[in-house]
Amino acid sequence: MWRNPAIRALIVQAVLFLVLAVFIGYLVHNTLLNLEARGIHTGFGFLEGRAGFSIPQTLIEYTSDSTYGRTFVIGLLNTLLVSALGIVAATIIGFLVGIARLSPNWLLARLATIYVETFRNIPLLVQILFWYYAVLRALPSPRQSLSLFDAFFFNVRGMVMPNPQPLDGFAATPWALLVAVVVTILFGLFAKRRQASTGKALPVYWIGLTIIVGLPLIVFLATGSPLEWTLPEMAGFNFRGGVNILPELLALWLALSIYTAAFIAEIVRSGILSVSHGQTEAARSLSLPEAITLRKIVIPQAMRVIIPQMTSQYLNLIKNSSLATAIGYPDLVAVFAGTTLNQTGQAIEIIAMTMAVYLVISLTVSFLMNLYNARTLLKER
């Protein structure tokens, strides 16, 4: 019987299943005993309880009377905020540095290389602590704030910047923007069709840009510029008016963007290099202009290599944003798996919920990425 591979496989799996079941059962048994000994009730009832602590940055309404469940949402939103900011900045810096590494200018290429080699070889946590303690916490007190154009002020409590206050009639501007976007898309379709029928290409990018910027601007001015900027003003020991951005957010944002950008730069560089020289030569021999070669030949092929790797960097950035807890930025881990856990002691539920958030994000993105890969896979024999 042992010689039959099918039966052998079945036995192996059955044994493995038993061992795992017994092991997990043992852990559950221990856990239940321990929880009982500590007087902790399992379950998610604690989420209804009053939190009783304040959080320095809340994107939606929150007071210390809110529930523990609310702290979960607050933390999650703060995680998403810093992740979104970080992804935008890291992408921009990463692309610039990656392209700079391929520059024919020796000095610029070297500088980009130094950037990449420096920042990707220093632990992110060291970088976060550096920006927070060595740079932002070393800034002067609000009274001696460093100012930029008398509108942005940097001090030990973070950055204060003008706060836009919409007045009556401002609503027209976002509508104008929406209309402009729709018009641009329609115009793009029209241009494409016109080129297909007459062969004449229109400068779609320039005209589109003009519409998207121009139309909202005209509407904004026509409605009498209904936006008031409340400038920060010194009042006593602190600023009044304006938006205050926490130094924790700034430090985390800086560190996450600079660190991730070093990896993105390498991805961009290798993506561009992965398009063989033969492709550009073929395009040139067909007398395609450089701009078209870049747009139609190089970028589409490079993006196939870049996008999947970049997505995994984005996921890393989201997961790395959990280092917020080291400097006290109120993200999901710091608020929920930190303060809330300490107050309630509901370790298992809270850790499970926190991990589930990251897992759901990761698995969703991986799933979408697999769809993308399947769609763009180069057809081969």
Partner 1 sequence: MSEATASQTTASGSDRPMIEIDHLNKWYGSFHVLRDINLTVTKGERIVICGPSGSGKSTMIRCINHLEEHQQGSIVVNGVPMTNDVKRIEQIRRNVGMVFQHFNLFPHLTVLENCCLSQIWVQKKPRAEAEKTAMEYLERVQIANQALKYPGQLSGGQQQRVAIARALCMRPEVMLFDEPTSALDPEMIKEVLDVMIELAHEGMTMLCVTHEMGFAKTVADRVIFMDQGQIIEEAPPHEFFNNPRSERTQLFLSQILGH
Partner 2 sequence: MTTDSTFRTEMIEAREAPDQRRGVIGWFRANLFNGPINSIVSIVVIYLLARLVWPFLEWAVIDADWIGTTRDACTGDGACWVFISARFESIIYGFYPDAARWRVDIVFALLAILVAWLAVPKLPYKKWVALFALVGLPIIAYFLLVGGSFGLEYVPTRAWGGLMLTLTIAVLGIVGSLPLGIILALGRRSKMPFVKGICVIFIEFWRGVPLITVLFMASVMLPLFVPGDFDFDKLLRALIGIMFFWSAYMAEVIRSGLQAIGKGQTEAGQALGLNYWQRTGLIVLPQALKLVIPGIVNTFIALFKDTSLVLIIGLFDLLAIIRAGLTDSNWLGFSTEGYVFAAAVYWVFCFSMSRYSQYIERRLNTGHKR
- Contacting residues toward partner 1, per CB under 8 A: 195-201, 276, 278-279, 281-290, 292, 296-297, 300-301, 304, 378-381
Q: Under a CB-based contact definition with an 8 Å cutoff, are residues 221 and 129 in contact?
A: no
- 122 near partner 2, rule: CB under 8 A: yes
C-alpha 48/C-alpha 340 separation (Å) is: 12
Judged by beta carbon distances under 5 to 8 A according to partner kind, the member of partner 2, partner 1, none in contact with residue 108 is partner 2
Judged by beta carbon distances under 5 to 8 A according to partner kind, the member of partner 2, partner 1, none in contact with residue 206 is none
In the complex with partner 1, the residue whose CB is nearer, 60 or 196, is: 196
Q: What mask of x and - would describe binding to partner 2 in positions 186 to 225, judged by CB under 8 A? A: ----------------------------------------
CB of 309 to partner 1, least distance (A): 18
C-alpha 316/C-alpha 264 separation (Å) is: 11
The binder of partner 2 chosen from 59, 148, 363, 368 (CB under 8 A):
363
Q: What mask of x and - would describe binding to partner 2 in positions 332 to 361, judged by CB under 8 A? A: -x---x---x-----xx--x--xx--xx--
3-state secondary structure of 261: helix
Q: Under a CB-based contact definition with an 8 Å cutoff, are residues 98 and 270 in contact?
A: no
In the complex with partner 1, the residue whose CB is nearer, 104 or 199, is: 199
The binder of partner 2 chosen from 129, 177, 204, 298 (CB under 8 A):
129
CB of 210 to partner 1, least distance (A): 23
Q: Which amino acid is at 238?
A: N
Q: What mask of x and - would describe binding to partner 2 in positions 298 to 337, judged by CB under 8 A? A: ---------------------xx-xx-xx------x---x
C-alpha 203/C-alpha 184 separation (Å) is: 12
C-alpha 67/C-alpha 62 separation (Å) is: 9
Q: What mask of x and - would describe binding to partner 2 in positions 76 to 105, judged by CB under 8 A? A: ---------------------------xxx
C-alpha 94/C-alpha 317 separation (Å) is: 13
Start-to-end CA distance of the chain, whole Å, equals 43
Of the ranges 128-136, 230-238, 295-303, 369-377, which one interacts with partner 2 (CB under 8 A)? 128-136
How far apart, in Å, are the Cα atoms of 375 and each of 44, 113, 270, 372?
A: 41, 34, 22, 5
C-alpha 199/C-alpha 194 separation (Å) is: 7
Q: Under a CB-based contact definition with an 8 Å cutoff, are residues 346 and 40 in contact?
A: yes
In the complex with partner 1, the residue whose CB is nearer, 88 or 286, is: 286
Strands in 152-155's sheet, in edge-to-edge order, are 146-148, 152-155, 158-161, 243-245
C-alpha 54/C-alpha 73 separation (Å) is: 14
Site for partner 2 in 36-55 (CB under 8 A): 37
CB of 278 to partner 1, least distance (A): 4
